[in-house]
């Protein structure tokens, strides 16, 4: 199916925004989990999960804003997310974060596989997508290792 460069760039921005929103959800969920954990585990969660997720979120927001500016399309404001329904079990929040992070990876992988970033994007956009995926790649496994001993 043929598409115009403008339509494709708009779709790229929508997909990047979707992934950015999912990272906001992951951050909110990790923040909620932090509040439910003992101090040692909370510090580990912050170091192993929250900081890298926050870094990926910031990188993807910048990627979106800078690409929109370069191609003359409107940017977007990203709002904080909620961690979802309350749970006293931090594992619930961490699993929500993992699901959101995996969704981000899926969206960005499909976007990269589509070749749109090559055809209508630019080097900076492709770098932002790749850096974000590299940052989040190990987070689901780290989260599961961290939560393995919770509640025992």
Residue 27 has what pLDDT?
97
pTM across the whole model: 0.93
Residue 79 has what pLDDT?
85
Q: Which residues contact 67 (CB under 8 A, 6 or more apart)?
A: 9, 12, 13, 16, 121, 122, 124, 125, 128
Would you state the torsion angle of the CA atoms of residues 53, 56, 58, 61, taken in this order, to the nearest 10 degrees? -120
Q: What CA–CA distances, in Å, run from 77 to 17, 80, 147?
A: 9, 10, 33
* CA within 13 Å, CB half, 142: 20
Residue 87 has what pLDDT?
75
Q: What CA–CA distances, in Å, run from 61 to 17, 52, 82, 101, 146?
A: 8, 14, 18, 15, 27
Residue 151 has what pLDDT?
55
Residue 83 has what pLDDT?
66
Write out the two tokens for 135.
């940052």
Give pLDDT tens digits along the chain (152 positions). 456 899 999 999 999 999 999 999 999 999 999 999 999 999 999 999 999 999 999 999 999 999 999 999 999 999 888 766 677 889 999 999 999 999 999 999 999 999 999 999 999 999 999 999 999 999 999 999 998 877 54
């Amino acid at each position: 199916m043929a598409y115009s460069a403008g339509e494709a760039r708009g779709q790229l921005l929508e997909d990047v925004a979707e992934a950015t929103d999912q990272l906001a959800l992951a951050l909110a969920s990790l923040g909620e989990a932090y509040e439910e954990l003992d101090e040692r585990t909370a510090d580990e969660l912050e170091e192993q999960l929250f900081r890298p997720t926050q870094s990926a979120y910031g990188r993807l927001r910048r990627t979106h804003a800078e690409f929109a500016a370069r191609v003359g399309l409107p940017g977007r404001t990203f709002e904080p997310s909620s961690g979802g329904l309350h749970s006293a079990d931090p594992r619930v929040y961490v699993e929500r974060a993992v699901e959101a992070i995996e969704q981000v990876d899926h969206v960005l992988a499909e976007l990269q596989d589509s070749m749109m970033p090559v055809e209508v994007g630019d080097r900076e956009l492709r770098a932002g997508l790749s850096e974000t995926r590299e940052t989040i790649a190990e987070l689901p496994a780290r989260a599961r290792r961290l939560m393995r001993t919770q509640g025992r």
